[in-house]
Amino acid sequence: MSRALFLLTLALGLVHSVSEAADPEASPAVVERGVGELFESRFDGKDTGAIAAALLKNYRVTMPGGFELGSGKLILKGPYTLVRPINAGPIARLKAELLPRNASDKSATSTSRLRLLIATRQMASLTIRRDIDGGEARLAIHSPDGSEKVLRTVKLALADTAGTWELAYHHGYLRSLRDGKLNAQAVADINPSAAPIIGIAFEQLEGEISLASLRLSGLLNAAAALSPDQLEARRQAQQVTARAAKLFADGKLDEAAEAAQESLVLWRKATGQSSADAANAAFNLATVMLKKADVEQTAAAFSIVVDARRESLGAGHPLTARAMVDLARIQVIQNRSAEARSLATAAAEVLIAAYGESHPFVSDAKKLAAP
């Protein structure tokens, strides 16, 4: 969806720090259709010359600390940063295989960071830190000015950070995994949520770490796979979306509704009936209809949003859950209380896992779910 999305509070949530330890295994899965391996770099082979050549060919070094190759591992000494440009959609999984601490490593602390660079000029990150007392894993989002907003911090019982660490990104939904087990999740304000991933980085900020491999799986940039007809529909959809936004801002609601409906048709033609773009267009239409006090059309549009996000993002994605809460609110107005409670109950489960018990989104869902 273009940057001309309506600037409304329901469109995407604000970033919030979360302290509650929500159960990460409780929420349903997200959809990762079309995701495949984009690259794998292994540094644990015996041919150190070939590994060094591949390292210099595929990565840029932006903070030259130092590195050593040998004994089947790459030892990075901070500050050292490996950067690699990519062209992927808004779903990506960056994995770093960290080896046990070297006997010769005398550094008191070690801090490593995985980063995903988003086309909005924001960066999602997973920072892994160890010291003599233990360690922590930290999920964060970084603004274009470089400032960091910590979303979730998890304490590590052991000082050893060995294992395969993964930063998973899905339309603004961040998750941290260690050896395949989810240990943290959070939601960031990414607008538009379908902004592609354009680069990755592995940083050794301080101390040293032994790196066995870097792997990235993700969604190929959908725009690159569109046909000429779809690209034209996409161009038209962006223009019509911008026009609908201006009409809405000017208070011309009837014309805005017509443009929003046209935008939905065009986005469906460009990226699919149940794409994330189509869901955002349907949300814009629902917003206009709500402003017009047309309850039936608002409910119909929010139903499209829920169905499209379930299909494109999955029932376990926070954006899907928030759309379910939006629909439940309208169902209450329609005297469809049983349906509203059912939707809100399911949504609350996902929102608690993503935001924590005390978040306003969770409070809203619980109120709607109450008998």
> 325-352 as b/e, with b when 16 or more CB fall inside 10 Å?
bbbbbbbeeeebeeebbebbbbbbbbbb
Total-model pTM: 0.81
pLDDT at position 142 over 90: yes
Looking at the chain, the whole-number percentage of residues with pLDDT higher than 70 is 88
pLDDT at 108: 74
Domain of 269, CATH number, reads 1.25.40.10
pLDDT at position 10 over 50: no
> 191-223 as b/e, with b when 16 or more CB fall inside 10 Å?
bbbbbbbbbbbbbbbbbbbbbbbbbbbbbbbbe
Which of 261, 256, 241 has its CA nearest to residue 194? 241
Domain of 123, CATH number, reads 2.60.120.200
Phi, psi of 123, rounded to the nearest 5 degrees: -135, 135
Domain co-membership, 56 together with 202:
yes
Residues 6+ apart with CB under 8 A from 206: 78, 79, 107, 109, 110, 111
Mean pLDDT of 112-138: 92
Domain co-membership, 39 together with 68:
yes
In angstroms and rounded to an integer, the radius of gyration of the C-alpha atoms of the chain is 22
The boundaries of the domain holding residue 73 are 35-222
Residue 299 has a CB neighbour count (10 Å cut-off) of: 20
* Residue 317 domain flag: yes
pLDDT band at 23 (very low <50, low <70, confident <90, very high): very low
Domain co-membership, 239 together with 344:
yes
Residue 295 has a CB neighbour count (10 Å cut-off) of: 14
pLDDT at 134: 79
The lowest-confidence range among 56-65, 138-147, 211-220, 353-362 is 56-65
As a whole number of angstroms, the distance between CA 247 and CA 293 comes to 17
Domain co-membership, 159 together with 308:
no
* 82, amino acid identity: L
pLDDT in tens, 34-50: 678 888 998 877 778 88
Distance between alpha carbon 41 and the CA centroid of its chain, in Å? 23
Domain co-membership, 308 together with 208:
no
In this structure, are strands 66-70 and 73-77 parallel, antiparallel, or unpaired?
Answer: antiparallel
pLDDT at position 58 over 70: yes
Residue given tokens 């240990």 in the structure block: 183
Domain co-membership, 265 together with 238:
yes
Residues 6+ apart with CB under 8 A from 281: 1, 237, 241, 260, 263, 264, 266, 267, 268
As a whole number of angstroms, the distance between CA 101 and CA 19 comes to 29
* Residue 1 domain flag: no
Angle between helices 318-333 and 337-355 (to 10 degrees): 150
Residue given tokens 């030259």 in the structure block: 64
pLDDT in tens, 328-348: 999 999 999 999 999 999 999
pLDDT at position 226 over 90: no
Domain co-membership, 210 together with 236:
no
pLDDT band at 30 (very low <50, low <70, confident <90, very high): confident
Instruction: Count structural domains, the chain.
Output: 2
Tokens at residue 103, please?
A: 């006997």
Q: List residues bridging with 168 in a β-sheet.
A: 93, 175
Higher pLDDT, 157 or 310: 310
Which of 48-57, 155-164, 179-188, 279-288 has maximum average pLDDT? Answer: 279-288
Domain co-membership, 342 together with 233:
yes
pLDDT at 22: 35
Domain co-membership, 295 together with 210:
no
Domain co-membership, 293 together with 330:
yes
